[in-house]
Structure 1
Amino acid sequence: MKRDFGKEYRHDIFRKIGWVLLLMLIFLVLGMLIGSTLGGSNPLAVLWPGTWMHMFDFLR
């Protein structure tokens, strides 16, 4: 028995993968906002470019 991996089937799979990636991104941002709030700083500070430059400098 051969499965039909047609265009419609692939479209459905890629749509589901897209939704999963979008939800992962949303939960990542929400987690960063909540984590910085619990850490005692401004919750929007994680979205500032200076914060990201500091993190990348720390990783070097």
Structure 2
Amino acid sequence: MKKDFGREYRKDIFRKIGWVLLLILIFFILGMLIGSALGGSNPLAVLWPGTWIHMLDFLR
């Protein structure tokens, strides 16, 4: 059996990448909520599916 000496290092790197992606997602959602509140609308409206459908239709 061959030992994999880089396995722990890879697990550590993937764990750090996962935490960074999770933090990016959290800050993205918080930014959308704060931006919507400062814009004068309901902050939770950015989480509704209708809002996303409207944005995707606008991009087409």
TM-score, with length taken from structure 2: 0.92
Give the percent of matched residue pairs that are identical in Structure 1 and Structure 2.
86
1:29 deviates by 0.1
1:37 deviates by 0.1
1:47 deviates by 0.1
- Is 1:52 the equivalent of 2:52? yes
1:59 deviates by 0.1
Unaligned 5+ runs, structure 1? none
- Equivalent pairs counted in the alignment come to 57
Where 1:40 maps in the other structure, the secondary structure is coil
Unaligned 5+ runs, structure 2? none
Alignment of 1:1-40 (within 5 A): 6-40=6-40
Extract structure 1 runs of 4+ deviating beyond 4 A: none
Output the CA distance in 2 between the equivalents of 1:47 and 1:7.
39
Output the CA distance in 2 between the equivalents of 1:32 and 1:53.
16
| CA deviations over 1:14-38 (Å, ceiling 9, x no partner) | 0000000000000000000000000
Where 1:41 maps in the other structure, the secondary structure is coil
Q: Give the residue type in structure 2 aligned to 1:51.
A: T
